[in-house]
Structure 1
Amino acid sequence: MTFKEIKSSFRSELSSFFDEQEIDSFFYLVLEKYHQLKRVDLALQPNLKVSESELEQWKFVLEQLKTQKPIQYILGETFFCDIVFKVNEHTLIPRPETEELVYWILDELKYKDQNSTIVDIGTGTGCIPISLKKNLPESTVFGIDVSAEALKVANENAKTNEVDVHFMQKNILETSDLQNQFDVIVSNPPYVRNLEKAEINTNVLAFEPHLALFVSDEDPLLFYRKIAELALKNLKPNGLLFFEINQYLGKETVFLLTDLGFKNIELRKDIYGNDRMVKAILTPDPSPSAFGRDKKERGDETLK
């Protein structure tokens, strides 16, 4: 069987699940992963054939795709910031919006001391801290996650990409102090409300870890509030706090950070035009109004 025939088979058997462009992207990802061939190689040699054992691999991938299992999980890896990362069912698949967050951090830090201390909270695959360490080799970088299985993947990714990132297992909601002072705290925590499940694709709902995705409708900013409160203790003066956020809760997230005393808060949209990222600065003298008031006074109920 030729690769050209396999491509045709992919299109015919997957057409009820995906559009043709997406099917072709799957085909070329498998072609490169299993055969180290690119689109141009196939164009130059259209009649290349596969062996019987290789054909079985393709059939397996095809059957997995019919279940709508993400191609990244099938192949066991994905690209993020031009780096290959291992992924499995214990980790979210890194997304382009998160790449934008990483590039924003790098852009901010290029004007500062390159020997920064950075922590990523809810690290998953380790894509954020590993990408930052790759680009800021003089920095000291940490990653925190509640999942031991996710941290296994993150450690493997750090080793594969030859960077030194310090990973720690912590339940951030039960953490009172990060035991260090940081120039940057970054987090892409769970932020999808249960009421938004109807908007989530089947391949995400069925295969990606819900622990890393969903938060209660009653308190959707739970993780942001906790991490921001830790940042009050554990960010250095003029330290930076970065969040990836729920696109529907941009103003509420900004309000939360303002009320806690953070300054120069910036809300940015992602490549799709959705509110997706926030940066805030902890000034040396946070507003005293951020302290000593109960939740009702701070207006927390408006964030729910």
Structure 2
Amino acid sequence: MRALIVGMGIGELYKSIYERKLWDVVTVDQNKPADYWDIEEVSGEFDVVHICTPNWTHGHIARTIADRCKIVFVEKPGLRTSEHWEALVHTFPNTRFAMVKNNQFRDNLAELYIIARKSDEIVINWHNYNRVPNPGSWFTDKSRAWGGVSRDLLPHLLSWVQVFDPEYNDLSLYSSGCHQHYTLDTVGSTDYGVVDPSGVYDVDDSVELLLNSNWHMYTCTASWKNPVGDKINIEFFKQGDLIHTEPLGLCPEDAYEKMVDTAIDNLYNNRYWSEQFARDVWIHKQLELF
């Protein structure tokens, strides 16, 4: 079995997963140690491919390798629009595609689903105290990242909505908004990389999205930087009373491995991949609001 990993940031985690499985692992990265510098140099066929590169490169890499692999995982936020994602999937009907939704494979989902059924409002928070990713880099350049925190963190929160509400496609938009609170001159330092004062910062750094159904209100709210502190959790309310708070923290590695194993086990299960496609298109469409 062969795995191709393009981008050795989070890609290192995937590499360790496949090495434990004793797979043949091929890596690509232009800035870190890897087997190849460019995707164009890679030959042969692969069982699974992971695209873990800057947002604007996802589409080109996926199309370059798609007809030589069985499963392609694309890191969030996927592609620029839902139309781009649909076109990719339909162009390569013999290849399985999924945007990474690792939170949907955590061990405690059944427990949280029960709590969600008892609530009428769920607030999913991801607020960082000081983690604007490399201000001035591609992360904060809208032409390359397509957005800021709305493309970086919001996909994770939306994947949680899908965990709690199987009828996510029927949710109504209540309100949405995003803001740019900082510039390269005002952002100061960051706990995530370094500031490039000669770069670009033209993206949102806070976002809020409210969705509702007849039974629940979902609030997804995130920021890269705020003056109060970190708040990364899920809050469950019933008639205005907080009934449970679930800290999130970093997603455990075994969730990523379960995501991979589930995809491999369901390679020929069309129903599984139809649901992945539906979830990915829905997430893309919510991101297009910003």
Q: Which has the larger radius of gyration?
A: 1
Richer in strand (by share): 2
Richer in helix (by share): 1
TM-score by length of 2: 0.31
Higher relative contact order structure (alpha carbons within 8 Å, sequence separation ≥ 6) = 2
